[in-house]
A and B are shown apart, each in its own frame.
Chain A
Amino acid sequence: MSHSPSAVEQHNPALRHHFADMEQQRQASSLGMWVFLATEVMFFGGMFCAYLIYRYWYFNEFAAGSRSLDIWLGTINTAVLICSSLTVALGVRAAQMGKRKLLVILLLLTIVFGLAFLGIKGVEWYTKFQEHHIPGSSFSADDLIREYPQIRIDPSHEQIFFSLYFAMTGLHALHMIIGVGIFTFLTYYAWKGRYTPEYHNPVEIGGLYWHFVDIIWIYLFPLLYLIDRKPLK
């Protein structure tokens, strides 16, 4: 790493005075984002831990609840998020190469995929609402007990599965909404031409956030939708 910044870097308006050069500034922002993501791992980790313990205790109810989720919509939503991660990765690449128009298009595509994910998630939640699977006073597991007579289901334990389902997908959806907000800002400033091959840290760390939220879903999908899908005896 060079500690004698070139004339161009000294005059780069994007360089904050407390950094030696653009490269140090970029590495600092990237490291800061990774530290934040590490705290996010612990944030979601508590929920994954609760999930693990209750799944171990009430496996029957988790299996029945998992079967009641729409595996088609879940798979499509996973694919939608993977597509959005591709557009983010290509967007960071476009920013690195200084392709402004391509960057704006890819950021907009990411927002569209993000909103599509949230829309599909909303449809799934609405179905659960109609099926009385929202935990609370109107909760009912009667339909599951009727549909899966082979599985012994305790309705109060079934509520725990759905509590975790809504808490985990809800927290994930909240992260998606924040992500769409961040990407709206990024799109605006990308369109204004703020990001150059020398300075595009916001695109890079915004991308890190988006990929992280994608990874959470990569685990939520099998843990919630695919607990027990094999044919019942």
Chain B
Amino acid sequence: MSEPIVSSKLYLGIWITLLCLTVITAGVSFIDLGPLNTVVALVIATFKALLVVLFFMHVKYASEKLSKMVVVAAVFWLLLLLTLSMADYLTRLWS
């Protein structure tokens, strides 16, 4: 079997980290950081998503390169959608 069994201690560690980050992101939103509030919220959310994908969804341990390619492709297409759309809307007032 190429499918590894991850220790339950690591799962519990990831779980506690995710819970702490949830409390932190909710708490930080009450502090006025200016435009950085949104940045901090998104960075924490992305870090949480990364922990779930890498450990809970086993992408870190997957031997098959194809699954990893699909994950990267999905994120790439999403960013393409968001970036090109916003490139339009954010520059409409320029002229």
Contacts and interface: CB of A to CB of B under 8 A. Distances in A.
A222 interface: yes
A148 B11 CA distance: 43
Sort chain B's interface into a size bin: 35 or more
Interface string B69-91: 01101110110011001100110
Contacts of B73: 38
Nearest to A66: B29
Contacts of B45: 218-219, 221-222
A215 B30 contact: no
- Describe A's contact surface by its main secondary structure: helix
A27 B64 contact: yes
Contact of A56 (B30, B78, B90): B90
Contact of B22 (A30, A82, A96, A208): A82
A38 B49 contact: no
Interface string A167-190: 000000000000000000000000
Nearest to A227: B38
A120 interface: no
Interface in B1-30: 1-3, 5-6, 8, 11-12, 14-15, 18-19, 22-23, 25-26, 29-30
B18 to A, nearest CB: 5
Given A30-B64, A83-B15, A42 B81 contact: yes
A50 to B, nearest CB: 9
A231 B32 contact: yes
Contacts of A131: none
Given A1-B2, A75-B26, A96-B5, 5 more contacts: A45-B81, A85-B52, A86-B14, A227-B38, A230-B32
Listed from nearest, the 3 A-B pairs whose CB atoms lie closest are: A38-B74, A222-B41, A230-B32
Interface of B: 1-3, 5-6, 8, 11-12, 14-15, 18-19, 22-23, 25-26, 29-33, 37-38, 41-42, 44-45, 48-49, 52-53, 55-57, 62, 64, 66-67, 70-71, 73-75, 77-78, 81-82, 85-86, 89-90
